[in-house]
Amino acid sequence: MYIIGLNGSPHKRGNTALLLETALKAAAELGARTEMIFVQEIMEKQERPFCIGCENPCPGRCYKGTEYEEVLEKLSAADGLLVGSPVYFGSVSGQLKSFWDKTRRLRRANKLLNTVGAVLTVGAAPYGGQETTLRAVHDMMFVQGMIVVGGSHEESPGHHGVCARQSAEKDTYALKRAVLIGKRVVQVCEATASLRKQR
């Protein structure tokens, strides 16, 4: 299994990264090959970082030959995606939204169809928009035809995903949920592997 963590935070070593690293470590302990991708770093290198819907269907001309195109190839090969974002005004970061908007070619080619997805997020307050941010990413995943999973039922009823409060390193409940969701993604990837062979 190949599991990618997408860090949608502008901070490479912040709260979002910690949650993703915790989940990816749990996935790796179950035998998955894992990789972290820092979205801002990729988008900063784009001459045109925002999708303007210049053509339909998308030819991918604006990112041809760039690192962004290489990342899309990795996403196409992944069995699962763990997507992390801080809460910005009750939703995802601009970096993550910009990154995802430019995945139109993957949708047309069904490259993320049946890829397993889960979300981790962190906000400044206990009820600071974490669940609305999770649901925003869920909607992005649903449009791609992904299999969206919430938290694990292993130790308690599941939730929409991992909701942490800053500072994430002190949120022991969220870190525990990150471990469980990392394992859950691998389990669902294993159970649905045959579906991805059809893409």
Q: Mind listing the pLDDT tens digit for each residue in 133-148? A: 999 999 999 999 999 9
Residue with tokens 């995945």: 103
Q: Are 150 and 178 in contact (CB under 8 A)?
A: no
pTM for this entry: 0.95
Kindly state the DSSP code that residue 91 receives in the 8-state scheme: B
pLDDT at 157 over 70: no
Between the two ends of the chain, the Cα-to-Cα distance in Å is: 16
Average pLDDT over residues 82-101: 97
Q: Of 107, 100, 99, 122, nearest to 169 (Cα)?
A: 122
CA 177, CA 25: separation in Å to the nearest integer?
A: 13
d(CA 62, CA 81): 24
- Say which amino acid occupies 186: V
3-class DSSP assignment, residue 57: coil
Please, where are the H alpha helices in the chain?
Answer: 15-29, 39-44, 67-77, 94-101, 104-108, 130-143, 172-191, 193-196
For residue range 3-52, list pLDDT tens digits in order: 999 999 999 999 999 999 999 999 999 999 999 999 999 999 999 999 99
Q: What is the pLDDT of residue 12?
A: 94
Is residue 78 within 8 A of residue 196, CB to CB? The reply is: no
Between the CA of residue 95 and those of 10, 38, 55, 98, 148, what are the distances in Å? Answer: 7, 10, 22, 5, 21
For residue 47, what are the CA distances in angstroms to 15, 66, 81, 181? 28, 10, 26, 35
pLDDT in tens, 60-81: 999 999 999 999 999 999 999 9
Q: Which two tokens stand for residue 122?
A: 């962190």
CATH topology of domain 2-196: Rossmann fold (3.40.50)
Beta bridge partners of 81: 4, 117
